[in-house]
Structure formats: structure tokens, C-alpha cells
Amino acid sequence: MSCVPATDGGGARLDPADWATLSPSDVGDRSNACVDILSSLLTAFRRVPGRVLLTVRQALRRCRNWLSHAYSLLLLRFQGRLSPRAREFSNIYYRRSWGPGFGEHSRFFSGGGSHTPALTEPYVAAVLQLLGQQPRTEVVDIGCGDFAIGRPIAPACQRYLGVDIVPAPMADLRRRFSSERVSFVSLDAVSESIPEGNICLIRQVLQHLSNADIVKVLEKLSRFDVLVITEHLPNDPESADFNRDIESGAGIRLGLNSGVYVDRPPFRLSGYSLTVALELPVMYGDEVEAQGVLRTSVLRRNSG
């Protein structure tokens, strides 16, 4: 991030890699664990009245809630140094707006679209096939999130750079997965420069941005040789209302019978040829009818 939160003294500066990895959920998870352990110990003493156990548990829960609230206030102080978009998407993670997560993705979870095999496995296979056709594979993955999709792709790249606007998961991924060929950075693709590369992956990112923000991102993507853009679109393109404007945030255009179509106004990516590489129905549970489609388009720079 270009802005690093400073301490009150104005001297030492706090590294986002240190503070951003924490979230209110960490406080809650650890406090819940303490509640369960202490309650189990107290239960072992059969002579302890039930009302005492209840009182202790209530006290521990109040302590947990206080710690979580205190941490949230501290976090908000630091978030004042972030851009409005970075704060918004950080809060999406902290509120777990895209789901609670599971296993190694319980701390930072990018949503079901990144963890549903029927949606992710064909995408990964298509990207790997594309990379196998390229003599140079310096990949910039914008909106890499929790790295669930980028992880099987990274080994096929000469260089893989995961990019996300939220500092916390990027700091976590740097510690766990950084290598000579794999790295991660937190930046705002709308307002900051996008690192160099020849292939850009941008999956289900533009759909969360306003049209004005999308225009700014597309302008920066025009220097890549290959763009792989994935968007959640309505089932029937004939009746779709292309590129309805929304505010940048957690929501998308699907409820407006719209989506992001980069080859239609007000967007313009000149000098590229677009082909649809993949189109997958988005199913929720036992739904009979797909709730839109995930379309992956490959844009290649025209020769000459």
C-alpha cells in the first residue's frame, strides 16, 4: 500500500503486513476457544452449580465482545489511512459478506465463486491451456483474493504476481507462498499503477466496480498482450441491460439483469480480438435454473 499507518509519535511506522493480518474474527475465534475450554474444565467439576457455569460463560462472552469491539475501533483508526475502496473491500472480508470460509480459508474467504469446483476447475484448466501456448508467461492476477484459484496456476507461470486491494490476505499470502517466482502486493487497481506483465487475469473483479472505475482499470490493462476477463452475467444476453452502472462494493449487476460487457459501451478496449473461452452456469445448491453464467473472455492484442 502507498499509505502506511503511522504511530502517534510520528516516528516508527507500522507495517501493514503486521497489523492488517488481524481481523475481528480472529479475536472472536480465539475468545470462543477460551470460552469452550474453560467451560469444559468447569463442567468437569460436578459440584459446581449450573448457574455458576452460566454466569462464568456469560462473563467470558462479554469479555470476548469487548475485545472484539476494542479491536474494531483500533482497526478503524488504521483504516482511515486506506482509500475508500480499500476500506469497503476490507470490511467485506471482516464482515464475511462472501461467506464464513472453511479450513485454511477460514480467515480470508473470497466467496463461493472461488471455491466451487464446477466453476473453478474448468477455469483453471482453460488458463493453463492458454499459458501453455504462450512463449512468455509473466502473469498479473488482479483480485487474486485468497489465492484458491491462483494457487494451481502459479506453478505454470514464469512469474506470478497476485494483486488485491485488501492488505490483510496479501500479507498472509506473502508469508505462506512467496518465492522467487511468486509474489503478492496490495494495491488499488483503480487509483494505483498496475505492475508489469504480459498476461493479466482479472476474474469477477470488474463486476463489483462502478462504470467510471472500470474505465480507469481498462485503460491500464491496455498494455498487456493477453487479458483473461471473467464476469458474472445474466442467462439471456438478448434481454440483458448491458453495463448498468452501480456503486463500487460487494454487490454486482445481476439483480438488475445486467453485467459487465467490456466490448460494449461505455467501455472500449481497442486493438484486441475477443473470444469467449468458457461459459459456465452458476448453480446454487439444488437450483434447477442457473443464476446467471460465468463467462471467461480472452482478449489478444492484434498483431501489427
Residues β-bridged to residue 265? none
**Of the candidates 7, 4, 27, 13, which has an alpha carbon nearest to the alpha carbon of residue 186?**
4
pTM summary value: 0.72
Residue 191 has pLDDT above 60, yes or no: yes
Work out the pLDDT band at 10, boundaries 50, 70, 90. Answer: very low
Instruction: Determine contact, residues 199/226, Cβ cutoff 8 Å.
Output: yes
More reliable by pLDDT, 21 or 285: 285
Average pLDDT, the chain: 79
CATH entry, 112-301, from 3.40.50.800, 2.40.30.10, 3.10.450.50, 3.40.50.150? 3.40.50.150
Q: Which of 143, 27, 29 minimizes the C-alpha distance to 86?
A: 143
Residue 272 reports pLDDT greater than 90 = yes
pLDDT tier at 244, thresholds 50, 70, 90: very high
Contact 225, 201 (CB under 8 A): no
Tell me the per-residue pLDDT of 85-126, one tens digit each, with 9 for 90 and over.
777 777 766 666 555 554 555 466 566 667 788 999 999 999
User: Sign (positive/negative) of CA torsion 128, 134, 137, 142?
Assistant: negative
H-assigned helices in the chain: 16-19, 24-44, 50-79, 84-94, 117-132, 150-153, 167-177, 211-221
What is the rounded CA–CA span in Å between residue 10 and residue 7?
6
Q: In the chain, where are the structural domains located?
A: 1-81, 112-301
Q: How far apart are CA 140 and CA 68, in angstroms?
A: 35
Backbone angles phi and psi of 118, in degrees to 5: -65, -20
